[in-house]
Every structure is written in structure tokens, then in C-alpha cells.
Amino acid sequence: MIDEFIKLSIGTLRKRKLRSWLTMLGIFIGIAAIVSLISLGQGLKISVEEEFAKLGTDKLLIQAKGGFGPPGSDLSTNYLADDDLRVIESVLGVDEAAGLLSGSVKVEANDKVRYTYLAGMPTDKSLSLIKEFMYFKVEEGRELKDGDKHKVVLGNRIAKGDLFKPNLKIRDRIELNGESFKVVGIYEAIGSSQDDSSIFISEDAYRELLDEDDKWDIIIAKASQDPDVVADRIEKKLRKHRNVEEGKEDFEVSTTAEFLDAVTNVLGILNVFLVGIAGISLIVGGIGIMNTMYTSVLERTQEVGVMKAIGAKNRDVWAIFLIESGILGFLGGLIGVIIGVVVAKLAEFIIAQTGNSIIKAAMPWWLIVGALLFSFLVGAVSGVAPAYRASKLKPTEALRYE
């Protein structure tokens, strides 16, 4: 019986192709938006989790509190100094600690001038910890080493992107703030436009070039015990060393787990917000299905009368119209899923061209199945009232209707 109802409903929709397409419009726009947004959000979440997995859960990040701005912008009088680094190294549970300098620099190469990110890297054993945290690997040439005062290692986009065409190579020379440096290495692309657009020089060269002494932008520590416990110890020692009260710290200590929680929470809130906006299209689509089904009931009043006259029960008529509205929702959802997948993959490709390969489209099975079920339910629920009205028509009145 159900299969006959489905065939009858599909036949009716085929007879009214234009109306069916217009009715499904709101549904597949809403589903396409939801699928593409959630797909990109899930892909970003997975990429972030993978990046944090590479860092490990034993890393701690210590930095001075201040405003937000590009690397090197001094928006606060607070900063971390060499004695802060020594205090952190002395904390029980800290296996090792290293400082990192970051700023911006004027770069001249191949008759072009650009402004980009500059990082001051240690050249001793601390470099291994910095590399663990930043996850850089040399693709060509070598790392910086002691005595490399006027040597640089380039981020992949600096060397091979569009910033300095033709591409920069090992042994080429570039100018940083007017001083000449020789390229000794090129890092592999890591998928972050900022990191891939950075230039790396030795700590000593950085301090001399930007005239910054006894200052660290970031201190990275590696914990040999529970990172949360070690973070508390660092906070207590730094409060005492910097003579600040609890709750009024001019610094902050974060674990990689805290970073991950913060990022995933933000992504979750953003997903809910975006899906809520896309859901408006589904409401509009549902209203469209309801309107179409009411119109269909009026147009087919005599048909309903004939069905009842030959023995169709109220529940049969109700089921026919409900299945029809559910099919409208399902087909709209199916088209929406296909469009959403295409849009998400296209967005991934376009974003990748800017050097941000961290954003990828993920297509978990529950997203596809959930979108199809949800669109079917929207259609079915929207058809409940029109289907009920059709089922209550009296045969004699329906047959006389014109």
C-alpha cells in the first residue's frame, strides 16, 4: 500500500514540475548552506585537533598580557625578560624552556619590497623545542646555527609564493630593514599563511636588527609532569618574581589543552550561529511546502472525493498528502546536500590558493544522513495540516466541488 502511495505522490509531483522545483527552492538552499558550513567547520576542527596533536599535550605557552595586534606591535608596556625565562626554567616539572622573538620587517628582494613577519630563533639546543611547538621542517638547505648572524631561513610562501617572483633560492640574498642576509634554508609549507610568510633569523641578529634587548615575546616550556600542575607552579613563581597579586597578573600561562578547548568552543558557537541563520531558509522552505500542499488539496478536491467514494479511508488520504510533502522535503534536501558538498569543496580549493591548507571540507556520514532526514521531516511536518484537511473532506461535497 505504501509503495502505491509513493508512486502516486511522485506522479503528482512530476505533473507539476515547475511548482515542485519552486517549492523545493527554500529547502535545498537551507540544506546546502547547513551542509557546506558544518562541513567546513568540522574540517577546520579536525585540522586544529591534528595540529595540536603534533604539538603534544606537554607544551606550555607563557606571554605578557596586552592588546591584540600583529606580531611585534608593542601594545603593552609589559613584556617577558631573560630573568622571567630563568624563573620558568627553575620551576619543578619544567623539562626545558625557550624564548621566541616575533615582529615585522621590511623585505627587499628581486626588486620588490614587502612587509612580512620576522621571527628570532635560538641557535642552541632550545631550537628543537621551538621547532616542536611550531612544527617546521626544512625542505631545502639547513637550519640556522651558531654564528649565523646574517643568514635567514624562509617560510615556504616567502620563497615559492607570489611575493617575490621569481622564486627565491638557497644562497640568494635579501635585505631586511636595509641589511643584507643570505638564504641558507627553506621550510616546508605547513598550511598557515602567516607562518609560511615568515622569515627566520638568529636571536642575536634579530635583537641587533630591531634593537631589542632582554625581551621575549613568547616563552615556550615543556612539562615533564601534569601540564596543569606545572602551569600553576609557573604562575605562582612568576607572580612572586614580578611582584603582582593573584588575579592581577600581567602575564598568562596556557596549556595546549586550553588552547584546543578555546578554539573548539569558538568553532562550536560559530557553527550554531551560522546554522541558525541557514535554518531561516528551511523555515521559509517549510512554509512554501505547506502553501503548495494546501493549493494541491484545493486543486484535487474532486480527486479526493473519488478516492473516498471507492473506499479510501481518511488515513489513506492523509498518508498520500503527507508522503507527497515528505518527498518534496527529501528531494530538496538531496539537491541541497549535493550543492553543499560542491560549495564546501570549492571553498576549500579557493582558500588553499591563499596558502591556508588548514581549512578543509569534512563530510562525516552523520552530516549527510542527518541533512536528508531533517529535510524529510521539515517537508512532512509542513504537510501535516494540509494532509489533515484533505482527509476530512466529505465525499459528496468533494465530488460537487468546482
Pairing verdict, β 138-141 and 179-187? antiparallel
pLDDT of residue 105: 92
Contacts 24+ apart (CB under 8 A), 346-350: 347/36, 347/40, 348/40, 348/43
pLDDT of residue 5: 59
Cβ–Cβ < 8 Å for 44, 264 = no
Cβ–Cβ < 8 Å for 63, 221 = no
pLDDT confidence band for 284 (50 / 70 / 90): confident
pLDDT of residue 239: 92
- Give me the residues paired with residue 114 across strands: 107
CA dihedral sign of residues 218, 224, 227, 233:
negative
Pairing verdict, β 112-121 and 198-202? parallel
- Give pLDDT tens digits for 180-235: 999 999 998 887 778 888 999 999 899 999 888 878 888 999 998 898 899 999 99
Closest CA to 204 of 123, 128, 102: 123
- Cell numbers standing for residue 40: 567546513
- Give me the residues paired with residue 151 across strands: 182
In this predicted structure, the answer to whether residue 394 has a pLDDT above a threshold of 60 is: yes
Cβ–Cβ < 8 Å for 84, 237 = no
In this predicted structure, the answer to whether residue 71 has a pLDDT above a threshold of 50 is: no
Rounded-to-5 percentages of helix, strand, coil across the chain = 55, 20, 25
Q: Distance (Å, rounded) from C-alpha 396 to C-alpha 304?
A: 10
pLDDT of residue 69: 44
Taking the whole predicted model, whether its pTM rises above 0.75 is answered as: no
Q: What are phi and psi of 76, to 5 degrees?
A: -145, 150
pLDDT confidence band for 72 (50 / 70 / 90): very low
Helix axes 314-352, 2-15, angle to 10 degrees: 60
Q: Distance (Å, rounded) from C-alpha 153 to C-alpha 127?
A: 13
Amino acid letter for position 354: T
pLDDT of residue 117: 92
Average pLDDT of 81-110?
91
